[in-house]
Amino acid sequence: MTSGLFSMAVASGRTGGQDEGVAMGLENLFGWIESYLAAVIAVLAAGVAVAAVWVGRKERQARQVLQRQNLRHNVDAQSLNWGNACIDVLNRTAMFARTRQHQANDAGFLQQRVNMMLALSSLIDRGRVLFPDVDPASKESAQSDTRRRVRAPILQTLLLVRHEIEALTRQGGPTAANSADFIDDCREFVIAELQAHLDSNRQAVQATRYDERPMAQRAAAFEQVNVLKSLLKSRRPGIDVSDRKETVQ
């Protein structure tokens, strides 16, 4: 009987030890699973954060592109309105030059001339917002020396027309047809510059400024302005075509 009790006690001890080992194993397993899940959750949270940053960046870039597109469209719309006003004023100016001798009297002629000069001065002042001063010798106009910067070719052309009207007299000087032809030449150049400024191919480059055109195009524009300036000087030998203040006093 004593031997049987001893055997039962031994069996009972083994069962208790096995249960304790199983419990410890399960505890370790649960601890490992918990650590693994915590790591997985941390990785997922980091991934969500990175994705949120990426999505936010893409949305911000999309908004910036849309803002640049809206800016480009607004600038183009303002440039188109300004260009239409230029063409209208230049047409009226050319007609005024052609009919200078048919004005009723000197007072009427002088009043019409002042009106034309005021209209041209207003266009030049408004145009400086759309066509900033540029450096003819450098593409980096935004960083160039301000002392080297000059009016954009399109504005210089309007200034030449203003000089022509300022020198225009009711009698004498170059013929009416000659003055009108010079103004028409300037108008054609202004139209060409507007076409370059409003070229639909530029839409691929958002918000491109007028002063960021290729140097070859800029050089050609300044060359054409110099041709018109030389023509004006040859027609009006005593005229001063310096870039002075254009406001009519």
Q: Are 131 and 154 in contact (CB under 8 A)?
A: yes
pLDDT tens sequence across 3-12: 554 454 444 5
Alpha-carbon gap, residue 194 to 188, rounded angstroms = 10
Q: Which of 103-112, 184-193, 221-230 has the highest mean pLDDT?
A: 184-193
CA–centroid distance for 209 within its chain:
4
pLDDT per residue as tens digits for the range 4-39: 544 544 445 555 556 666 667 677 777 788 888 888
- What's the pLDDT score for residue 165? 94
What one-letter code names the amino acid at 224?
Q
Digit-coded pLDDT (tens) for 165-174: 999 988 888 8
d(CA 249, CA 244): 13
Who has greater pLDDT, 112 or 70? 112
Q: Could you tell me the pTM of the whole model? A: 0.65
pLDDT of residue 29: 72
Whether residue 47 has pLDDT greater than 90 = no
Mean per-residue pLDDT of the chain? 78
**Does 146 or 166 have the greater pLDDT score?**
166
Distances (CA, A) of 167 to 140, 187, 205, 219, 236: 36, 18, 42, 28, 8
Confidence of residue 225 (pLDDT cuts 50, 70, 90): confident
- Give the side-chain half-sphere CA count within 13 A for 7: 4
Q: Tokens for 232, please give them.
A: 């004006």
126 C-beta neighbours (distance < 10 Å), count: 16
The pLDDT, as a whole number, for residue 215 is: 66
Regarding predicted confidence, which is higher, 148 or 245? 148
Placement of tokens 């954009």 in the chain: 152
Identify the bridge partners of residue 134 per DSSP, sorted by sequence position.
Answer: 150
Do 96 and 112 touch, CB atoms closer than 8 A? yes
Distance CA 110, CA 107 (A): 5
Percentage of the chain beyond pLDDT 70 is: 73
* 151/134 Cα distance (integer angstroms): 6
214 token code pair: 């290729």
pLDDT band at 103 (very low <50, low <70, confident <90, very high): confident
Residue 148: the pLDDT is 60
Q: How many CB atoms lie within 10 A of CB 219?
A: 13
